[in-house]
Chain A
Amino acid sequence: GEDVEQSLFLSVREGDSSVINCTYTDSSSTYLYWYKQEPGAGLQLLTYIFSNMDMKQDQRLTVLLNKKDKHLSLRIADTQTGDSAIYFCAESKNQGGKLIFGQGTELSVKP
């Protein structure tokens, strides 16, 4: 079946790097996404990666994909208090297809 797992909490100090991890079970997942949700709000797409890629970098965000281990990570460099939010990873089998979400990781950034 399809399952996406994340740790629930992460706390870091401002200026440090944050690494949020995600594992998934469906080897046919083709697209993997990271979304950010601020309190009481909808989801904002941060970045996505195709399964034929190992890494993608976008400014302070670095996504690493280990397809063999079905492990995805999101690294946020120089974490700021404004990065405090819940981060969801999600996977889908095809472009525009149904998204399966993890439980979300609550990132707390302390000054």
Chain B
Amino acid sequence: AQTVTQSQPEMSVQEAETVTLSCTYDTSESNYYLFWYKQPPSRQMILVIRQEAYKQQNATENRFSVNFQKAAKSFSLKISDSQLGDTAMYFCAFMNRGGADGLTFGKGTHLIIQP
């Protein structure tokens, strides 16, 4: 079984700053996917970014990028030029290749962007 650990329950930064959210995971699998999901107060789960474990290149989506260190089993999310709308819970998640076992989530990080 895999585990996902997010060690930062809450983070607060000023608007326009850069913030990094940490995530580590444990698995015996070699092929898998990692995700960051955003959950605003509306509770809708929004996919922020996806990383395929067999790809060495770090995924990037506009202001969001990841630092994927496979050997260290680390998967951090960097948000550049943070905006007020980035305020939300952020969950790191693991999925085996194929996805038949669903997602395993970390406990989440509550990110607050201050004006």
Q: Do the two chains belong together in a single complex?
A: no
Chain A positions near chain B (C-beta within 8 angstroms): none
Chain B positions near chain A (C-beta within 8 angstroms): none
